[in-house]
Structure 1
Amino acid sequence: MMNEGALSELPGGWVWTRLGEIANIGAGNPAPQGEEFFENGIYPFVRVQDMGNLGSNVYIYDTRDHLNIKAIEKMKLFPKGSVLFTKSGMSILLNQRAILGKDMYVVSHIGIALPLGDIPCEWLYYWLKTFDFKKLTHATTLPSLQLSKVQEIYTPLPPLPEQRRIVAKIEELFTRLDAGVSALKKTQAQLKRYRQSVLKAACEGKLVLTEAELAKAEGRTYEPADVLLARILEERREKWNGKGKYKEPVAPDTSGLPTLPEGWGWATLPQLGDLARGKSKHRPRDDKRLFGGPYPFIQTGDVKNSNGSIKNFSQTYSEFGLAQSRLWPAGTLCITIAANIADSGILTFPSCFPDSVVGFVCEDTNCNVRFIEFFIRTAKKDLEKYAPATAQKNINLETLGNLAVPLPPLAEQRRIVAEVERRLSVADEVAKTVKQSLAQAERLRQSILKKAFEGKLVAQDANDEPAGVLLERIKAERTKKGSGSKFKRKGL
């Protein structure tokens, strides 16, 4: 960083100074406590959330909360052009910056830098964008930033005309970058819709020729879904023989369901295979004896981040942990029913998981588990509707067990899976390229800022008034004004 170690050599006409010598540094106002200070409010009140909601925008013109006349009686008003930065809480680590688009009131969790001597606020904004305030924070659970340290930040000051040229050039280049980034993000959105449309077509029998159509064209017979389902149920009854009274799995309620292609049928997961919740019976759940052994233990986050195939785990069970759980085989379809509803992924290794995850196992001679996983992705929104509106959303096993699942003939399931995987792999490659391009755009943005404050972005002009003269003028103006308040109070 430019602010560490020996100061680098600057172009002619530039000078090193400290931030506090070219800007007034202050903090916002404590937030009024009570609805009476916001009722019928008309004065914008900038909070940290407002900065977070800016996205790629630079200026804040309005806020979520507005203060009334009672609230602002003893509050500092910060002028248009003030540069904002977060100064307390985890938001410091995000290095958020903003410029007030008009005079506003600001919360105390935000710091303010008001440039002096006609220094463009945009120049100061871009300079602060290059600096990582994390380096100045206290190493505590809740980070905080001392304004005295902000005042001491070494700052390379160019001549005033060059500052304006730098701002103009940065804005020109960033405008081009923003256009490219916008196009890339549109592509990301289109890819997401494309994936959804592929899965929807797959589960409606519109992606490949149906088995009925192929059989008719080739003059052969085939096993339709009703015969397939009957065979699966018979095999399951035979396997159950001798284990007590057999309970028939619940059949789907098909009333109101759409018409399926010829040869398809409706089924439930308990009809097609074994459906059960994971196990983690021991309490407390964080007992150290449970962990550190050879048995993978996955949780809802691992399923959510799996992109359909669970290849990683961050925790393992010991023999003690396994004894109170269950080891599911590779090929198990995992479906989350708590916190993240209906995220899905197939195990690529044997693993345990808690009761916030449901496991589904079927014989590959009866149904294709990847087809079922694709369908669960399409049913995610419908399943989320069953979750009560509470802080910890969840659905029960019965909800999942009653879900009507479209069942194509087995050969068609395999063709559908192959075609979906082919199309999604193409989409994944495009998405990878888009992600790399977005990362490259961000690196280019940082490179532009780095060059700007090294004096390498625009040409120097020997006719410009040296920055040292500007700095002396700012000092003289400050001395003349004395130690009065940096920011005025009340009124707009």
Structure 2
Amino acid sequence: MKDSNDQSISALPNVELPIGWSLTKINDIVDYDGLFKDGDWVESKDQDPNGNVRLIQLADIGDGFYRNKSDRFLTYDKAIELNCSFLESEDILIARMPDPLGRTCIFPGDPKPCVTAVDVCIVRTGKQGANHNWLMYIVNSPDFRTTIESLQSGSTRKRISRKNLSKIEFPLPPLPEQRRIVTKIEELFTQLDAGVSALEKSRAQLKRYRQSVLKAAVEGKLTEEWRRSHPDVEPASVLLERIEREREKSGRGRHKKLQPLDVSELPELPVEWEWTRLDFLAALKGGITKDSKRKSNNSRSIPYLRVANVQRGFLDLREIKEIEAPKSVISELLLEPGDILFTEGGDRDKLGRGWIWQGELPECIHQNHVFRARLYSNDVSNKFVSWFGNTYGQRYFMREGKQTTNLASINLTKLRGFPVSLPPKEEQKEIVSEIECRLSVADQTEANLEANLRRAARLRQSILKKAFRGELMPQDPSDEPASVLLERIRMERSQARPINNRGQARRGRGRPRKTAAVQTELI
């Protein structure tokens, strides 16, 4: 396992090593009975869902933890035919592709024999090699991770080669100190994990609180006391009559007669409220289609909203793309402040999610997977309608959506028929005020939670950084220096028989013998 590449890249340049530490590379800390190699090239045609060998993939590798997510298999005979390397418990798995690049975990073992994919690097330091957990923490440390990023290759799919991994030079503490460092890291991480768990629990409770506020609002429960103190408010039935007149007057309501709304299975509303259809309240419009994107002499580029931009209760405008469209199409699809947006496709539980365009850009249109609803009357709150769509509407859109193999969708007809509960004009204002007041408190609480979670992540990285630099634990002068460990590994490797891909000494020609784990599985 001699490193044929003499080039070294330090993960920690210009830092004085603690007493007893040595600079090394992954190749140098793998004993004769260990491995440092890529996983195996197992193609789809090689796999078998009924196979007795599990294929560990990139999805299984977390940043310091094993995810156990994949569900791919092959037969033992196929694994032998492909000369696969069988994993052992405590093997270190390094992801050679994002995200993040170079993330590393310990393989805990599996009831079935396992191999891994080619984009995963296996490190098995062996009986006399470096401590596995220590090496995992070092590879996941900020300095090592930064060095990995500097050695990545690929234009669209970034990766780190095993050859480049083998170039990275890092400090190696004495073996007893490695164990002490691991114990201290795990002690500190256990405390951090408890704090993070409490923060995430609070965040989940906050999410449920938001949902309960919105649900109570659109059902009229949030303003029960307000209604009792305002008995003479104009009922929603009068508001609907006024909207109908405004629809006809605006000209946007000139279409076929609206279908009556069947309210027999809809929840009962407060006395002053009314059920209505979305298309009675607003003019609906689909977005730019493939045909309408064709260039013409008067085409120009313009920003447009995609499904990814329209979230449930907010717009994510961090990445806005542009599209070439004729001026006539732009004029027709140009968003106006106050327009309510609904998503048309995606996962079934995300159908119909949306929020309000508030003129964040001077000009913007929307794609055909985002519907626009433009209210006929200013006496209807666009926020109330959007909140209603994001709460009660979830059940409606999931029920009425059409499911294909990989995608769910709703059409414009279903959106037009979406039942909306309509409170009186004055009560809408009160509802919006109540929601915004309560959600602003929730937003501030969530901001504090997120800040604490980021602080915990930084602290985790700080712990690893200190461990990497010898600052986490005091050195013990009685420890055998790391240089002695490295020399012993070098000598044992030079005297040992060659090792095959299953970490066994080769016994000459013929079929490799099965490991104990594999023999147990096949009995």
**Does TM, normalized by the shorter one, top 0.5?**
yes
Alpha-carbon distance change, 289 to 146 in structure 1, aligned in 2, over 3 angstroms: farther
User: Which residue does 2:340 correspond to in 1?
Assistant: 333
Deviations 1:52-75 (A, max 9, x none): 5xx763586x96334443233343
Alpha-carbon distance in 2 for matches of 1:180, 1:150 = 34
User: Which residue does 1:223 correspond to in 2?
Assistant: 234
Alignment of 1:92-491 (within 5 A): 93-102=100-109, 104-116=114-126, 117-130=128-141, 131-132=144-145, 133-209=148-224, 212-216=227-231, 221-240=232-251, 247-279=256-288, 282-284=291-293, 290-292=299-301, 296-304=303-311, 307-308=313-314, 314-315=320-321, 320-321=326-327, 323-324=329-330, 325-339=332-346, 341-349=351-359, 351-363=364-376, 365-378=378-391, 379-390=393-404, 391-485=406-500, 487-488=503-504, 490-491=514-515
Counterpart among 57, 60, 66 of residue 65 in structure 2: 57
Alpha-carbon distance in 2 for matches of 1:129, 1:56 = 7
Q: Structure 1 unaligned runs (5+)?
A: none
Alpha-carbon distance in 1 for matches of 2:207, 2:365 = 31
Counterpart among 5, 10, 30 of residue 3 in structure 1: 10
What's the % identity of the aligned pairs?
A: 33
Alpha-carbon distance in 1 for matches of 2:496, 2:276 = 81
| Amino acid aligned to 2:72 | D
Alpha-carbon distance change, 311 to 35 in structure 1, aligned in 2, over 3 angstroms: closer
The alpha carbon displacement at 1:48 in A equals 1.7
The alpha carbon displacement at 1:189 in A equals 1.1
The alpha carbon displacement at 1:393 in A equals 2.8
Deviations 1:87-117 (A, max 9, x none): 3xx4364433121223732222211111242
The alpha carbon displacement at 1:226 in A equals 1.6
* Residue aligned with 1:275, SS: strand
> TM-score of the superposition, structure 2-length normalised?
0.83
Alpha-carbon distance in 2 for matches of 1:265, 1:285 = 44
User: Which residue does 1:69 correspond to in 2?
Assistant: 76
Report how many residues are paired. 477
* Residue aligned with 2:93, SS: strand
Deviations 1:212-269 (A, max 9, x none): 42233xxxx22112222122113323444xx997643333221211111121110011
Alpha-carbon distance change, 82 to 317 in structure 1, aligned in 2, over 3 angstroms: closer
Alpha-carbon distance in 2 for matches of 1:319, 1:147 = 47
RMSD: 3.0
Q: Structure 2 unaligned runs (5+)?
A: 1-7, 505-511, 518-523
The alpha carbon displacement at 1:362 in A equals 2.0
* Residue aligned with 2:342, SS: strand
Alpha-carbon distance change, 385 to 289 in structure 1, aligned in 2, over 3 angstroms: farther
Alpha-carbon distance in 2 for matches of 1:134, 1:30 = 24
> TM-score of the superposition, structure 1-length normalised?
0.88
Alpha-carbon distance in 2 for matches of 1:231, 1:143 = 59
Deviations 1:349-393 (A, max 9, x none): 163223322222225542111110110111134313333222343
User: Which residue does 1:84 correspond to in 2?
Assistant: 93
Alpha-carbon distance in 1 for matches of 2:411, 2:164 = 53
| Amino acid aligned to 1:372 | V
Counterpart contact for 2:61–2:67, Cα < 8 Å:
no
Alpha-carbon distance change, 141 to 372 in structure 1, aligned in 2, over 3 angstroms: same
* Residue aligned with 1:72, SS: helix
User: Which residue does 2:521 correspond to in 1?
Assistant: none
Counterpart contact for 2:92–2:123, Cα < 8 Å:
yes
| Amino acid aligned to 2:358 | T
